[in-house]
């Protein structure tokens, strides 16, 4: 089974990488970009029998800093 985890900073948390990307895009002439939030995508290849709850536990313990980040899980 495969799982994809999307990790993003929570709303209200400053995103310096996103701001740097927005600034760079503006400097390149892409002046219609008003905001950028940067995150990460983690693809997991899971053994048979792994569950959504297993992935949640991975996120809570390692993959996301739940104080400042939120995450979404896609199983496929």
Per-residue pLDDT tens digits of the chain, which is 76 residues long: 999 999 999 999 999 999 999 999 999 999 999 999 999 999 999 999 999 999 999 999 999 999 999 999 999 9
CA nearest 64: which of 2, 25, 10?
10
d(CA 41, CA 44): 10
* Residues 39 and 65: beta-carbon distance below 8 Å: no
Question: Among residues 52, 46, 47, which one has the least CA distance to residue 71?
Answer: 52
Task: Determine the topology of domain 2-75 in CATH.
Answer: Mth169; Chain: A , (3.30.1280)
């Amino acid at each position: 089974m495969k799982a994809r985890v999307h990790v993003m900073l929570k709303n209200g948390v400053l995103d310096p990488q996103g701001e740097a990307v927005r600034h760079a895009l503006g400097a390149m002439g892409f002046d219609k970009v008003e905001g950028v939030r940067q995150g990460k995508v983690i693809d997991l290849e899971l053994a048979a029998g792994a569950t959504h709850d297993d992935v949640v536990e991975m996120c809570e313990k390692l993959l996301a800093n739940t104080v400042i980040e939120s995450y979404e899980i896609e199983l496929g």
